[in-house]
Amino acid sequence: KLEKYFKNYSQKSLDNVKFLVTDMNATYFKLTKTCFKQAKVIIDRFHVVKHINSAFNEFRIREVKKLNQASHQKEAKKIKTNWKLLLKNRKNIDWYVFKSWRSYRAPYSPLMTESMVIDQLLSYSDTLSETYTCFHNLLDYFRNKNQVDFFNYLKNLPKTIDSEFKRKVENLLAYEEGITNALIYPYSNGKLEAKNTHIKTLKRVSYGFKSFRNMRIRIFMINGLIQIK
């Protein structure tokens, strides 16, 4: 359907398109071969980070199940409760504020900082500790837009990390050109994705609109595109 739509334009007009920003859906890659022959494909940065986060989250859930099966329910529960700390950017981890934590209540446990809690969680599993380090190394290279180190690290992942996590993140190698372009050029479809999220959320909470016109007006109002006097 996309090819049929864009074929309504002349090839000269289509050749003026310089960049195609997309997710990792193979459908859009075909457009560069059939329609936008001069365009460079850019994999939106949000989708790359989401892919890496999903791979680590799925591994974390598997690791919690393994600990439960090995009769380490307390450790598994602590990892499950404090999962957000494991995803937090290492640069933003607090090293100084001591406090009581939900899984480490005083007086049974001493007051701890975020970094101390993370160290405690990682001590429960060697595989978790190694995969956590690998996960954040990848994100650090990506956030710093260091495409050379990012792909070098991706091609030489440690053998000791979780095999399923390794397999999933290595899938990014198939999109090396698009991800490299994402780190070189400033283009993103983030604002468009935000608009789509607004529309989907509106549809979900409103239980449907009888009038498409009313829904359209509501969307415009939410995004500040029109004002009601």
Tens digit of pLDDT for each residue in 114-133?
A: 999 999 999 999 999 999 99
Distances, alpha carbon 23 to alpha carbons 60, 97, 144, in Å: 25, 39, 20
Residue 19 has pLDDT above 70, yes or no: yes
pLDDT band at 201 (very low <50, low <70, confident <90, very high): confident
Same domain? 157 vs 200:
no
Question: What is the average per-residue pLDDT within 10-24?
Answer: 90
Q: Do residue 156 and residue 65 come from a single domain?
A: yes
CB atoms within 10 A of CB 88: 13
Show the CA angle centred on residue 214, arms to residues 209 and 216, nearest 5°: 100
Instruction: Measure the CA–CA gap between 73 and 75, rounded to whole angstroms.
Output: 6
Q: Cis bond leading into 110, ω under 30°?
A: no
51: containing domain: 46-172
Q: In this predicted structure, what is the pLDDT of residue 24?
A: 87
Which amino acid is located at 180 in the chain? Answer: T
User: In terms of domains, do 78 and 108 share one?
Assistant: yes
Residue 39 lies in a domain: no
What confidence score (pLDDT) does residue 115 get?
A: 94
Tokens 């791979």 belong to which residue? 55
- Is the CB of residue 79 less than 8 Å from the CB of residue 70? no
What was the pLDDT predicted at 208? 66
pLDDT of residue 193: 83
Contacts of 93 (CB under 8 A, 6+ apart): 85, 114, 115, 118
Percent of residues, the chain, with pLDDT higher than 90: 59
* pLDDT band with cut points at 50, 70 and 90 for residue 167: very high
59 in any annotated domain: yes
Q: pTM for this structure?
A: 0.83
Q: Classify the C-alpha dihedral 121-169-87-77 as positive or negative.
A: negative
* Per-residue model confidence (pLDDT) at position 136: 96
- Supply the pLDDT for residue 7: 86
Q: What does the pLDDT read at residue 118?
A: 94
Are 204 and 133 part of one and the same domain?
no
d(CA 147, CA 48): 13
Instruction: Report residue 196's pLDDT band, with 50, 70 and 90 as the boundaries.
Output: confident
By C-alpha distance, which of 29, 28, 23 is closest to 46?
Answer: 23
Contacts of 8 (CB under 8 A, 6+ apart): none
Q: Is residue 95 part of a domain?
A: yes
What confidence score (pLDDT) does residue 78 get?
92
DSSP 112: B
Number of separate domains in the chain:
2
pLDDT at 156 over 80: yes
* DSSP designation for 16: T
Residue 98 near residue 111, CB atoms below 8 Å: yes
Single-letter amino acid code for the residue at 191: K
Residues 167 and 196 in one domain: no
Q: What is the pLDDT of residue 134?
A: 95
Residue 2: inside a domain, yes or no?
no
- Identify the top-confidence range among 6-20, 22-36, 206-220: 6-20
Beta bridge partner(s), residue 42: 21
Angle between helices 73-81 and 45-69 (to 10 degrees): 160
